[in-house]
């Protein structure tokens, strides 16, 4: 398939009074397609997928695919730390016409590199859908090393990575050594411009829920080799990005979307709550600059 690129939004899951707001989900999908994003990812960790029931996941995938109607690719977050359960979930959801999956490295049980390779190989062999691997060691407590990822990239349907390695040296090494056609999409929101300028194909960015058109334009400008114009757009965005992760994602982003009237409630599902008063005030001060 064509190399994945540009700005992808890992969608939040709108909640109201403890339940999924499916109408809100549909509105958000239409909103971000209209803003020109290159792809959407429901059921990622930004979407609080570990807290969702199976029927809720089904409903979100069905609504997302229906509203998108083929206009952009949809990659569904399907991952976990029990390989057989991941495969079963994938098989259950495959009746929906999404393009591929984003699958996070197993968390908590800290497998070896061999265990990671076997985990993703098993998933890849269970489906013909394209797979983006998600490496985020500061959340999973295990780092998918570049050698392991490059070996996995030989599998025909492992097509790229959401790279949140937390190490710019590791990211640059991967960009220098990746095979042709293998997509590197950064998940390090604060490093979006830096990694684009060093050859990344795009980003899967929770912060792109806000100021979406500016993120899309930054990616377009870098792809057109107009790095100075891209940096001019990036510079005023950069200071707010740490604020969006100062408390647990997606609490700050949901607060902002609620303030903007894009969702009906800033509610998250326990164990997450809502942002504290001090951060809420800071975010409210920033919001006019993110319109």
- Per-residue pLDDT averaged across 230-244, rounded? 96
Grade residue 252 by pLDDT with cuts at 50, 70 and 90: very high
- Residue 140 near residue 112 (C-beta atoms within 8 A): no
Sorted by sequence, the CB contacts under 8 Å of residue 55 that are 6+ apart come out as: none
Residue at token pair 């997302």: 64
192 occurs within a structural domain? yes
For the cut 80, the answer to whether the pLDDT of residue 229 exceeds it is yes
Question: Within a 13 Å sphere around the CA of 172, how many CA atoms are in the beta-carbon half?
Answer: 7
Q: Is the pLDDT of residue 78 over 80?
A: yes
Q: Per the domain annotation, does 84 fall within a domain?
A: yes
Full residue range of the structural domain in which residue 59 is found: 6-231
What's residue 2's pLDDT?
A: 79
Catalytic residues: 134, 162
**68, exposed or middle or buried, with CB in 10 Å at 0-12, 13-18, 19+?**
buried
* CATH number of the domain to which 26 belongs: 3.20.20.70
pLDDT at 1 over 70: no
Give the model's pLDDT for residue 223.
97
Residue 288 lies inside a defined structural domain of this protein: no
Mean pLDDT of 17-44: 98
Mean pLDDT, residues 9-27: 97
Predicted confidence (pLDDT) at residue 291 exceeds the cutoff of 80: no
How, if at all, do strands 39-41 and 6-10 pair? parallel
The closest of 219, 100, 227, 224 to 160, measured between CA atoms, is 100
Please report whether residue 125 resides in a domain. yes
Tokens of 28: 């958000």
Q: Interior CA angle at 142 toward 139 and 144, to 5°?
A: 110
Banded pLDDT at 289 (limits 50, 70, 90) = confident
Angle of helix 212-223 relative to helix 227-237, nearest 10 degrees? 160
Q: How confident is the model at residue 290 (pLDDT cuts 50, 70, 90)?
A: confident
Considering its fold, how many domains does the chain have in total?
Answer: 1
122 part of a folded domain: yes
pLDDT in tens, 268-285: 999 999 999 999 999 999
Distances (CA, A) of 118 to 38, 88, 147, 176: 30, 16, 14, 25
Residue 278 lies in a domain: no
CA pair distance 135, 90, nearest whole angstrom? 19
Task: Categorize the per-residue pLDDT at 27 as very low, low, confident or very high, splitting at 50, 70 and 90.
Answer: very high
Per residue in 153-190, pLDDT tens? 999 999 999 999 999 999 999 999 999 999 999 999 99
Q: What is the mean pLDDT of the chain?
A: 97
What is residue 69's predicted lDDT score, i.e. its pLDDT? 97
pLDDT value of residue 207: 98
**pLDDT at res. 86:** 98
pTM here is: 0.96
Q: Is 175 domain-assigned?
A: yes
Q: Is residue 252 part of a domain?
A: no
Measuring CA to CA, how many Å separate 32 from each of 13, 102, 140?
14, 19, 28
């Amino acid at each position: 398939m064509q190399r994945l690129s540009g700005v992808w939004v890992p969608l939040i899951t709108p909640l109201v009074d403890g339940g999924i707001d499916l109408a809100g989900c549909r509105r958000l999908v239409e909103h971000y397609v209209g803003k020109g994003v290159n792809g959407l990812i429901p059921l990622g960790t930004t979407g609080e997928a570990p807290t969702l029931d199976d029927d809720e996941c089904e409903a979100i995938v069905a609504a997302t695919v229906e509203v998108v109607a083929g206009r952009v690719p949809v990659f569904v977050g399907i991952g976990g730390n029990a390989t057989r359960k991941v495969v079963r979930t994938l098989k259950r959801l495959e009746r929906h016409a999404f393009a591929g999956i984003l699958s996070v490295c197993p968390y908590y049980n800290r497998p070896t590199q061999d265990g990671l390779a076997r985990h993703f190989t098993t998933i890849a062999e269970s489906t013909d859908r394209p797979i983006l691997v998600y490496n985020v060691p500061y959340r999973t407590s295990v780092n998918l090393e570049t050698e392991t990822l490059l070996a996995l990239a030989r599998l025909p349907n492992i097509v790229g990575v959401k790279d949140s390695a937390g190490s710019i040296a590791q990211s640059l090494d991967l960009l220098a050594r990746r095979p042709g056609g293998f997509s590197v999409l950064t998940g390090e929101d604060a490093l979006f411009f830096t990694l684009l300028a060093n050859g990344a194909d795009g980003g899967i960015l929770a912060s792109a829920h806000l100021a979406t058109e500016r993120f899309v334009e930054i990616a377009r400008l870098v792809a057109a080799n107009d790095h100075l114009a891209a940096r001019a757009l990036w510079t005023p965005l950069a200071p707010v990005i740490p604020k969006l992760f100062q408390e647990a994602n997606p609490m700050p982003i949901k607060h902002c979307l609620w303030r903007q009237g894009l969702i009906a409630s800033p509610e998250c599902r326990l164990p997450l709550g809502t942002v504290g008063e001090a951060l809420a005030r800071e975010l409210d001060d920033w919001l006019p600059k993110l319109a």
